[in-house]
Structures are given as structure tokens and as C-alpha cells.
Amino acid sequence: MPLVYGAYTACLHDRSLPEALEVLASVGLTGAEVNAGGFIPSPHCPVDALLASARARRAYLQTFADAGMQLTGLNTSGNPLSPLPGVGPQQAEDLRRAIRAAGALGVGEVVAMSGTPGSDAGAAYPTWVVNPWNGVDLDVLDYQWSVAVPFWRQIDAIARAEGVQVCLELHPHNLVFSPPTFLQLLERAETTNIAVNMDPSHLFWQQMEPLACIAALGDHVKHVHAKDTAVLPEVAVRGVLDSTFSRLPEDTADPVPTGIGHTVSQWPSEPAWRFVALGEGHDVDYWARFLTALAAVDPDMHVNIEHEDAAFESLEGLARGARTLLEAAGRAGV
């Protein structure tokens, strides 16, 4: 079978699930990933009902079948290791419930993030160690791994029992944000059902090459987000590690939550990089090579567009992304 091309429906949360699936089908996609917890709400995935009722699960899956779509993943991206009491415990429980829901639905993949603990047992906020050149940061990392390892062993056991792969997005501000840190987690926690969600957008802005990352990770890659990044001229003076973000204005409509009392921040007016619609940062030939590399790992991989380009509203952004993705698939023959 060829790769399955779909989209993550988070950008369509203003529509009902049937309406969102109709949008995806209209641009030629056949798969859908839905949010089931974590940072953002889950209007397309009634987790409570799905866990409670086989009838609800059958009806839910029928919604996808009626639209000619496959349910290819649940998403619980968040910080399950956060020391913030309104974030870590709830998002960890969201992850556990999503894995159980995925198992009950027969969905094989749950997308998540590794999370980031605080710097020590008394920390109030998460701490991301970017570059531990100072030995004190190695003490912080020792503590963070002491939190992460037992947690991910527990999650791995739940996933193994449910027949689910938990696919970690290599996302900055997480303990696991690169191939080496992912492999550290596997070595330390000795997991079997923790894998990688290959989202190249976060690798691009860290100056990594996703094709090399796919080669390094091999069959640890179990799920894919098709998302692009443009590195902009301002990178010459800002670099890719930039702390000059600011709080959103108080009158911002529908800010994206990251936990109780917190939202995403406002970007600099001239950023070093930004997320763009698929094809706006890298051309079709690049995406054809990307898909070829994925198909060599698993020809049945699920590849879902994640639209986060503020320059295009969701329908146009998805349509642009789908055109690029499907043209790349045609060129690659996958």
C-alpha cells in the first residue's frame, strides 16, 4: 500500500467533525488525525464517550468511513512532565486516556511530546536546557531524566498493552527534541512502544536536515507531520534561539492555550523563522525526497499535514499543503 496522506484537524476546530472531514476530502486527502487532549481542546474526539461505550466508538468510526477517510492518529501534544499543577498532571492523564481510547478504536498511533520537568524537585516552572556547557546544567538534566524515565516507562507499558505506538514530536522546549535525545530516552527507559513523530518543521529551524534524521532514526519513525518552515533573513542577527517574544495583547481573540492561565506568546515582528504552508519553505522536489525516505522506512506510513501558517486561513493553507504533498507523492511514486 502507498503512504496515507491526511491532515491534523486542529486548524478546523471551528467546524464539526463531519464538516472538517469534508474539507480534507475536498482537497484529495484520505486520512485524519484528531486532537484528544494536551495543550488544546478536543472538539473532534469525545474521549469520555469513546472510553465508555462500544456503541459510541462504532458510531465515531462510522463518521470517518462515511466521509471516505481513515482515522490515522490521536494527538495529545502537551507537557505531561510540567511541574505546574494545572498543566503536568492533567496533560499526563490526557495522554493515558488517549492511548486507551486509541487502543479501543483500533488506532495505532498517538502523537505526544516528551515534556519538560522543572530544574529540580522544588521548581515551579519547566526548564529547558538548551546547551549544558555549564556543568550545573548537567545536574538539571540528571534530575529531569530521573523524572522522565519512570513516567515514560509507565506510558510505554500502557501503550504496549493497548497495541499503540506513542510517537514523540521532536519539539524544542522538550527534554526530547532531537534524534540523539530520543535515543537517550530509549536507552534510559528501555521502551518498546515509544517512537517518533517526524515533524520536519522543528528540525528545519534548529538547522537539522530531516532526511538525515530519518536515516538516523530508521524504523523508530512511526508517524509524520507534513509541516514546513521558512528560515528568514533576520536569522543573521537573531539566530534560531530567540527570547524576544512577548505576551499577547489582552484583547486577542481565541489565544491558543498551553495550560491553565497560559497561552502561546506573540512572535517578534521580524522573526528569524516561521512556520509556513507546505511548499512555501521547501519545494515539491524536496518533499518528494522526504516522502521517498519515509516510504523506505515504512511504505504504509501515515503522513498528516499540520497547518500553522498565519499568512493563510485554514482552508487555503490546507489546499496549498495538499497540492504540494500530493504532487510530491506523484513525483516520488509513493
Q: What is the pLDDT of residue 259?
A: 73
Residue 55 is placed in which grid cell?
A: 456503541
Q: Per-residue pLDDT tens for 231-248?
A: 999 999 999 999 999 999
Domain count, the chain: 1
Asked if residue 211 belongs to a domain, the reply is yes
Number of neighbours of residue 304 by Cβ within 10 angstroms: 28
Q: Per-residue pLDDT tens for 254-295?
A: 888 887 678 899 989 999 999 999 999 999 999 999 999 999
Does residue 27 contact residue 322 with C-beta atoms inside 8 Å? yes
Asked if residue 121 belongs to a domain, the reply is yes
Q: What is the pLDDT of residue 255?
A: 87
Asked if residue 253 belongs to a domain, the reply is no
Asked if residue 252 belongs to a domain, the reply is no
Q: What number is the average pLDDT over the span 226-231?
A: 98
Instruction: Give the domain extent around 313.
Output: 4-239+276-332
Q: Are strands 273-276 and 228-231 parallel, antiparallel or unpaired?
A: antiparallel
CA–CA distance, 42 with 46 (Å, rounded to integer): 7
Q: What number is the average pLDDT over the span 5-28?
A: 98
Asked if residue 288 belongs to a domain, the reply is yes
Residue 1 pLDDT exceeds 60: no
The CATH code of the domain that includes 106 is: 3.20.20.150
CA–CA distance, 163 with 100 (Å, rounded to integer): 9
Asked if residue 161 belongs to a domain, the reply is yes
Residue with cell 499540520: 306
Q: What number is the average pLDDT over the span 76-83?
A: 98
Interacting residues of 184 by C-beta distance below 8 A, sequence separation 6+: 145, 176
CA–CA distance, 211 with 200 (Å, rounded to integer): 9
Does residue 217 contact residue 211 with C-beta atoms inside 8 Å? no
